[in-house]
Amino acid sequence: MLKTFMKMKEQYIKTEMEYTVNFWMMLISGIVTRVLYIAIPFIIYQNIPDIAGWKVEEINLIMSYLFIAEGLCSILFEGIWQIPEMVFHGKFDSILSRPISPLFQVLSYGMGLQGIGVFIFGIICMFFYLNTLGLLEIGGILLSLFFIICGCIILMSVYLLSNSLVFWFDAGGKTSIPYMISSIGQYARYPISIYPVLMQIILLFIIPYGFIGVVPVQAFREGNLIIYCLGILGMSIIFLFLSRFVFYKGIKNYESMGM
């Protein structure tokens, strides 16, 4: 299964690399957008001394984890964003008619080239800020790897959940909900303790972006690594199964084009 998945991604990247200009433009677009994102805390810190006792380097490390997770999701699971269009145009019929898991087909469909730029930029930032914060050692790197994997699973699950909502309402092949959820999640680029309790609950348990960047950096700050790691792992597993459940529940609601 994994071999087929990687083979499909390999074919996508080969196809895309045939169009050199397009390939590089997508790559650069990923980097440009993230450079601008990371400039925001820089500007904020020009005007205020600190945010709830967090240094700008820590905020940027949070962003690095988010960028890596976003980049990986874009490279590996871009197909999720095609669900609304597949459902509206009836392309989902062909997904259901194949003798392979629909979820596997959706996940392996397409590839977000910009994700490569985002991923590379995120990795560079992560190493830079780990080094700045004195965390660039074997333990820090291994923990970061764990956070990245869990972050990627959480983000993929959120994308799948939000895009699966199109099975329940007629969206004309386009919906803003996944983008809105993603926008709300972006508030987890900053320490969530600064927000009111309701927002903290949203960012931790409803749109759990907090577990992608803030909680890992909090773990480094506080040192209760086992508890934090178990929490992150637990959320990844819960959201993975929840999104899978919602996706398959949604399929039952799908009205075919009549193949």
Binding stretches for another protein (CB under 8 A):
19, 21-22, 25-26, 28-30, 32-33, 36-37, 39-40, 43-44, 46-48, 50-52, 112-114, 169-172, 174-177, 179-180, 183-184, 187, 190, 194-196, 199
Contact 154, 239 (CB under 8 A): yes
User: What is the nearest approach in angstroms of another protein to the Cβ of residue 180?
Assistant: 4
> Judged by CB, which is closer to another protein: 207, or 232?
207
| Alpha-carbon gap, residue 58 to 61, rounded angstroms | 5
> Judged by CB, which is closer to another protein: 2, or 21?
21
List helix spans (H) across the chain: 2-17, 20-47, 56-77, 83-88, 92-97, 102-108, 114-132, 138-164, 177-185, 197-201, 214-222, 225-253
Straight-line distance from the first to the last Cα atom of the chain, in angstroms, rounded to the nearest whole number: 27
Say how far residue 211 (Cα) sits from the centre of its chain: 11
DSSP state at residue 100: S
| Alpha-carbon gap, residue 259 to 246, rounded angstroms | 24
DSSP state at residue 255: P
User: What is the nearest approach in angstroms of another protein to the Cβ of residue 78?
Assistant: 9
> Judged by CB, which is closer to another protein: 18, or 134?
18
| Alpha-carbon gap, residue 244 to 107, rounded angstroms | 11
User: What is the nearest approach in angstroms of another protein to the Cβ of residue 4?
Assistant: 25
| Alpha-carbon gap, residue 184 to 117, rounded angstroms | 23
Neighbours of 71 (CB within 10 A): 25
User: What is the nearest approach in angstroms of another protein to the Cβ of residue 190?
Assistant: 7
> Judged by CB, which is closer to another protein: 104, or 187?
187
> Judged by CB, which is closer to another protein: 142, or 194?
194
User: What is the nearest approach in angstroms of another protein to the Cβ of residue 244?
Assistant: 24
> Judged by CB, which is closer to another protein: 28, or 145?
28
User: What is the nearest approach in angstroms of another protein to the Cβ of residue 166?
Assistant: 9
Contact 16, 111 (CB under 8 A): yes
